[in-house]
């Protein structure tokens, strides 16, 4: 059986790549012989629509600025986290105590902050910065670890990102009812239909080996790679594209 993946937690570019990789694996296994050609073609068509819409979104110059700003804040939040993590092993007790205080604060907001969607990451970072600017023990921890300038960078770039995001939202306005969220919902529906079709056909096989075993194993391997990406605190991890 094909395992599940939380598609909504994939950012748009990663989500699109996942769908393309999923389709590429099925193509290599001959969808016609697997009796899934119709649903394979439906998902292919939706992925093309999604990619075309994604290209339109990226064509907005503010989108490019957001990508750069998001990269900067990802670097900052992860830099502070890993800096604190390394100091948590320090031989000096006050240094280790400061690092542990910051890590405890990070833990309140969960792992993979840099993997959150744009709005969630903006809100989460704002809350963290508020902690770091108003809780004496965290202010002191940042000073002790010499991370105050990095905190300032994170605050600045997060505020810049928030402003640019609102600018882009105003640009989009209500010009088109077609948007990434709607298109992803449509694509998800077709994806699940194809996935369930493969699972159903595999269950109907009475005499092993099932002709669907190979493609199911390959798809599960792909999904596991993307699941690791979702759970990894390292935003630089990439999934090598199959197509």
Per-residue pLDDT, 171: 66
Task: Find out whether 166 and 69 touch, Cβ atoms under 8 Å.
Answer: no
Per-residue pLDDT, 19: 96
Task: Tell me the whole-structure pTM to 2 decimals.
Answer: 0.57
Look-up of token digits 């077709």 = 190
In the chain, which residues have pLDDT < 50? Answer: 174-175, 177, 234-243
Helix axes 136-144, 148-172, angle to 10 degrees: 110
Nearest to 197 by CA among 27, 45, 36: 36
Per-residue pLDDT, 232: 65
What are the start-end ranges of the H helices in 173-212? Answer: 180-204
Per-residue pLDDT, 172: 62
The whole-angstrom separation of Cα 110 and Cα 102 is 13
Per-residue pLDDT, 176: 55
Q: Give me the residue spans of the domains in the chain.
A: 7-59+177-231, 61-172
The whole-angstrom separation of Cα 17 and Cα 38 is 21
The answer for residues whose C-beta is within 8 angstroms of residue 183's C-beta and 6 or more apart is 46, 49, 50, 53
């Amino acid at each position: 059986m094909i395992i599940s993946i939380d598609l909504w937690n994939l950012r748009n570019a990663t989500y699109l790549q996942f769908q393309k990789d999923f389709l590429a694996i099925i193509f290599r296994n001959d969808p016609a012989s697997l009796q899934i050609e119709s649903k394979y073609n439906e998902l292919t068509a939706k992925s093309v629509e999604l990619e075309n819409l994604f290209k339109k979104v990226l064509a907005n110059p503010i989108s490019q600025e957001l990508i750069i700003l998001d990269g900067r804040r990802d670097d900052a939040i992860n830099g502070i986290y890993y800096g604190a993590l390394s100091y948590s092993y320090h031989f000096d007790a006050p240094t280790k105590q400061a690092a542990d205080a910051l890590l405890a604060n990070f833990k309140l907001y969960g792992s993979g902050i840099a993997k959150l969607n744009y709005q969630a990451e903006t809100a989460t970072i704002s809350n963290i910065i508020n902690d770091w600017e108003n809780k004496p023990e965290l202010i002191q921890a940042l000073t002790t670890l010499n991370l105050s300038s990095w905190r300032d960078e994170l605050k600045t770039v997060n505020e810049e990102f928030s402003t640019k995001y609102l600018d882009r939202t105003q640009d989009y306005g209500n010009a088109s009812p077609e948007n990434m969220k709607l298109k992803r919902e449509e694509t998800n529906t077709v994806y699940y239909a194809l996935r369930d079709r493969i699972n159903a056909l595999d269950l109907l096989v009475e005499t092993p080996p099932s002709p669907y075993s190979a493609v199911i194993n390959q798809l599960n391997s792909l999904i596991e790679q993307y699941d690791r990406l979702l759970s990894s605190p390292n935003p630089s991890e990439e999934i090598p594209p199959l197509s």
